[in-house]
Amino acid sequence: MTPAVVPHPTLSRERERETIGETMGETATDAAPLSTRLEKAVQTLSPRNAGVTLNLVFDGETARRGTAEPTSISEGGALAAPHLLKRMPRAVDAQGQEVPAPTGLRALVRTHYLGILHDTAFKTFFSAWVTATLAPAQAGLYVSLATGLFTAPYLLLSAWAGRLADRTDKARLINRLKVVEVGLAVGGAVALALGSPWGALAVVAALGTRSAVMSPAKYSLLAERVPADKLGGANGWLELSTFLSLVVGTAVGGALASWGAGALASVGFGAAALLGWWTSRTLLTTGAPVTPPAAGSSGPAPKMPAKLVRAGLAIAFFWLLSSVIQMNIFQFGAQTLGVGTGMVTGLLTAIGLATGTGAVLAGKLSKDKVELGLVPLGAAGVALFLLDLGLFGGGSVVRAFIDLSLLSVSAGFFYIPLNAYLQQESPAEARGRFLGLANLMTFAAILGSAGVYWLLATALTLTPAAVFTASAALAVAAAVPTFWFLRGPLKDLFRRVRA
């Protein structure tokens, strides 16, 4: 056996490389298999020369000659350099082509879907349950508290949740929060069995807290796992699952409440939580290795660039306008279209499904990049179809349905590229914090939408149709700067279409 090399304490790093390289012989060359270099390294390893020896193993001949720059290994840090990871053995198919590491995208989409399904179904069941069993004034108080307590954590915890996502393993954080969700499902079942509105309200607040903490981790993990040229499409599928879960959760929660099926509801909520935890386990075993968080990632967040602030504000405006439309749709159906709650529910379902469809189409059209050229087109579509709905949609349910559907598809074109851009352009070491700030903007806008709707419908006493027309004016006002700031990507999009 070759004796271990114990360098002299004053031996230079360059001479140390040469000495160890000579001892390791030909196995230090780039051509030698990694397994051979590892075996030889064991024979030469000592506490003093560990860093240089590992560099020889992974960097090969260039490190032995001392021409390679010191890596984080030679400096005593963790294995973080991406070029080292590329030299590790990878899976190959029958033709010898490298098989990319599974991203876990499907597991993330399923985990996301089941979480929102559980949240929405439980909130809807709770609202319908208290409405059916309590006096109107008391039920209204509970419903208002449920909305506020579910939303408040997004305002209070988004910045902290972003910092947490930046300094922890995001997949493991999501998995642990899904375990918490299972516990909350059990707590909800107990509250419903005891007939305790306050207990169920506490579960609603806890579900909102869990969702707020998980949100930056989910979207940061998406940007980590999915290549940049696939990020638009991945966001499209994720948002389709968002709107599907909202539609299905509302329908399921309302149906279970109308049947008085509290026990069945508890079983269903528990099943959704358990399945969500199960799918989140896949996230722990998929995805390529990721560079550990930077040492300063837990410190003050770097300043958010102006381009990302604009993207965050545009996303917040999307949700503000969406909330105003949803609040106005019931009055529009009753006063303008003259239809009942069932038809209005159908219109809301169309909005959710069409927005999800627009999200997927935006992802498909983005192809191999984040296509910001779609954003101005989406803004124009939202303004155009919202204006048509306000001026002419009141005379026909069919026309209102078409306007709302096309409006929602346009909204997907507007929202998805901006969301993907925000994820892609945020630096990895601060991505969670930037996404957390964007969440803060979004939910501040959602709360602000109540004030906007009050101003239009109550203070200005506008009819429901006129509220849509005024909302179209807001959409036009937002579309103008959108076209200005994104005129370059829009021209590039038209150029590619003509080609």
Over residues 311-370, the pLDDT tens digits come to 999 999 999 999 999 889 888 998 999 988 778 888 888 898 999 999 999 988 887 789
pLDDT tens column, 204-228: 999 999 999 999 999 999 998 888 8
Q: How many CB atoms lie within 10 A of CB 170?
A: 26
* pLDDT score of 251: 87
pLDDT tens column, 421-477: 999 999 988 999 999 999 999 999 998 998 999 999 999 999 999 999 999 999 999
Task: Tell me what the mean pLDDT of segment 89-118 comes to.
Answer: 71
What six digits make up the tokens of 362?
């935006």
Strand partners, 98: 92
pTM attached to this predicted model: 0.74
In percent, the amount of the chain with pLDDT more than 90 equals 56
Query: What is the rounded CA–CA span in Å between residue 95 and residue 136?
Result: 68
Under a CB-based contact definition with an 8 Å cutoff, are residues 26 and 32 in contact?
yes
pLDDT above 60: residue 110: yes
* Helices within 393-463 (DSSP H only): 397-425, 431-454
What is the SS3 assignment for 305?
coil
Computed from CA positions of residues 107, 147, 325, 490, in that sequence, does the dihedral angle turn out positive or negative? negative
From residue 37, how far is each of 15, 23, 51 by CA, in Å? 20, 12, 14
pLDDT tens column, 140-157: 889 889 988 999 999 999
pLDDT above 50: residue 90: no
pLDDT tens column, 266-323: 999 999 999 999 999 999 887 655 554 554 445 565 789 999 999 999 999 999 999 9
* pLDDT score of 255: 87
Query: What is the rounded CA–CA span in Å between residue 477 and residue 472?
Result: 9
Task: Tell me what the mean pLDDT of segment 402-420 comes to.
Answer: 95
Single-letter code of the amino acid located at 244 = L
Band (102; pLDDT cuts 50, 70, 90) = low
Angle CA(104)–CA(106)–CA(110) in degrees, nearest 5?
A: 115
Max mean pLDDT among 6-10, 65-69, 391-395 falls in 391-395
Query: Token match 């193993």: residue?
Result: 57
Under a CB-based contact definition with an 8 Å cutoff, are residues 291 and 224 in contact?
no
Q: Could you tell me which of 108, 243, 121, 265 has the C-alpha nearest to residue 178?
A: 108
* pLDDT score of 289: 52
Q: Could you tell me which of 76, 56, 74, 65 has the C-alpha nearest to residue 14?
A: 65
* pLDDT score of 144: 86
Please, what are the domains in the chain? 13-85 (no CATH), 98-288 (1.20.1250.20), 305-499 (1.20.1250.20)
pLDDT above 90: residue 62: no
Higher pLDDT, 70 or 425: 425
Computed from CA positions of residues 276, 278, 281, 287, in that sequence, does the dihedral angle turn out positive or negative? negative
CA dihedral 110, 114, 116, 121 (to 10 degrees): 150
pLDDT above 60: residue 199: yes
Residues 6+ apart with CB under 8 A from 21: 28, 56, 63, 64, 65
* pLDDT score of 230: 87
Angle (deg, nearest 10), helices 397-425 and 431-454: 150
pLDDT above 60: residue 42: no
